[in-house]
Chains A and B, each alone.
Chain A
Amino acid sequence: MKVVTGVVGNDIHVVANRLIDLSLRARGYEVFNLGVNTHLEEFFDAVVETGAEVLMISSLNGEAEGWGREVPLLKSRYSNLDDVIMMIGGNLVVGSGNTEDIVARYKKYGFDLVCHQMDLNTGLDMLQSLSEERGIA
């Protein structure tokens, strides 16, 4: 299974990105890592170019709050991304917040899996279950 990953916006926190890359490969995924400092449009475009089944966005510095809002409009301009599993994790707000509210908000933006301040392996297990559920694993 193919995964496009990277850190959204002007975010330069690279450590989680490296860990995600390694962990995904260890679990047998084919990884297209766009690295830090990645524009939202580049994520979607990378999914189109690679045919990835999963888009996994990280955000650590709090920027996701702004980018998340742009996801529905941008995604609507693409004709064939409906089946892609959209996943986001890291620090999804500036400062602290109630996880339940945060998850609900990002689901509204169109993310299937929202992993706010969640341990990476837990998140990857969730991905595994969802892809099995959808019959693409």
Chain B
Amino acid sequence: MTATDDKLLIDVGSTYFKLATANTIEQHFRDFNRDIFDDLMGKCGDTIDRFDKQDIHICSSANGGLSTLIIGVTNSFSLKYATNIAFNSGINIIDTILYQNIEEYSLPSDLIDVVIIVGGVDSHANLFSSALYRYIEQLNYSNLVFVGSALDAQQMRDNIDNVVVLPNIIDDRLHIVEEHLKEYLTNLYQQDIEGKEDIKHLYDITANQIYSTPFIVNRALPTIEAKFPVADPFILLDIGGATTDIHYSKDLVEDNIVTENEYDRLVFKRLGVYKSKQSLILAAQANEFTYELLTHLKVTENIFHEQSDKATKILMQLAIFLVLCKMSHYRQSYINLKLLAINSIVFTGGITKVLTVEDIESIIVFFYRKILTSDHKPVAILDSDYGIWTLGAKV
């Protein structure tokens, strides 16, 4: 997309629509009783009608993103690399299976959009056996891709119908190779949108590809300093209605992944303040520091049952705390961020409309004191006019 002034940028989220032109920003709560397209046209039709199809750019996280099941042979290489590529391709829901224990995993009941099988360098063969094919046979999935050792590709073709075989994501030096799988997953996202009844009509108003919102956000990060006084290294938290996304700069991970991306992404599914409110509350109740934090915020547990602006605000503060906690414990997520090295935390999404810098900083200080026993205090930066998203959409 080129940066000109006569464009309309639309973001369809799980909770709101956002529309940005060169000098205006509109935001509307979605009506879940209506089709996305009808709802959007009903609320913003006048604005949309003023633009040509070529000048309208849409990104969306409303289709919920794709779900993935990754089957790999180790945590440090195959599962980690595939997870990294999947997150960076905009996929939200990722489950992993360590192949050697495949018989101990239960079968997911939901339909899986894409199963990824990975393992081995190209000179190693026979990493998988009948246990894999038995498991796959019982799975309910739409797509299956093999990105492991080239020597095993034929065996996959012989045993799994409709398997797509792509080049190995692990090279001969055990480094990650991203591009083929990334392109495949990005295209699947595209097809998913085209296939979803209530979203596909969005192509009636744009002549451009509809991207996933996290893809757009990640794209903005290398140029973020043009817009905000961000001190490196930083993380960006997008606390949304359904999930929470974290984008982080590479210097924050001690990792064996060597990629060309400066920024990676991680998602905590079912951690959002609207659609995933109940699971957020459950996560909060399971955290031993929650009650202390509620006291610190001068409220009680009853706030969980309230429906008020105050309750939303507290939930958002809790979400920040829980996300920081989840990133701080060794190996709880697939990477560990060096939280003591962070100089800024950038916040984007609906949260910036509700919380002030002070509300957020009080959580940050509480977190660093209680969990990391440190007086470290990264600066909180609020992207309250969706500057990051417009930056990314215009690249």
Which residues of A are in contact with B by a Cβ distance under 8 Å? 2, 30, 32-34, 37-39, 41-42, 44-46, 48-51, 78-80
CB 8 Å contact bits of B72-90 with A (1 = contact, 0 = none): 0111111000000000000
A46 to B174, CA, bound (A): 8
Q: Closest residue to B173 on the A side, CB-wise?
A: A32
Given contacts A50-B121, A51-B124, A80-B100, contact A32 B174 (CB under 8 A): yes
Interface residues of B in 130-180 (CB under 8 A from A): 170, 173-174
* Chain B nearest Cβ from A31, distance in angstroms: 10
A33 to B172, CA, bound (A): 10
| Most interface-central of A33, A34, A48, A49 (chain B CB within 10 A) | A49
Q: Closest residue to A2 on the B side, CB-wise?
A: B123
Ordered by A's residue number, 20 sampled pairs between the chains whose C-beta atoms are within 8 Å are A2-B123, A32-B174, A34-B174, A38-B256, A41-B75, A41-B76, A42-B76, A45-B77, A46-B77, A49-B77, A49-B120, A49-B124, A49-B170, A49-B174, A50-B121, A50-B123, A51-B123, A51-B124, A51-B125, A78-B100
A44 to B78, CA, bound (A): 13
Given contacts A32-B173, A32-B174, A78-B100, contact A45 B121 (CB under 8 A): no
For this complex, into which size category does the number of interface residues on chain B fall? 10 to 19
A79 to B100, CA, bound (A): 7
Q: Are A48 and B256 in contact (CB under 8 A)?
A: no
A80 to B149, CA, bound (A): 18
Q: Closest residue to B148 on the A side, CB-wise?
A: A49
A42 to B76, CA, bound (A): 6
A38 to B77, CA, bound (A): 13
A51 to B122, CA, bound (A): 10
Q: Does B349 make an interface contact (CB < 8 A)?
A: no
Q: Are A42 and B119 in contact (CB under 8 A)?
A: no
A78 to B100, CA, bound (A): 8
- Report chain B residues within 8 Å CB of A80: 100
A50 to B127, CA, bound (A): 10
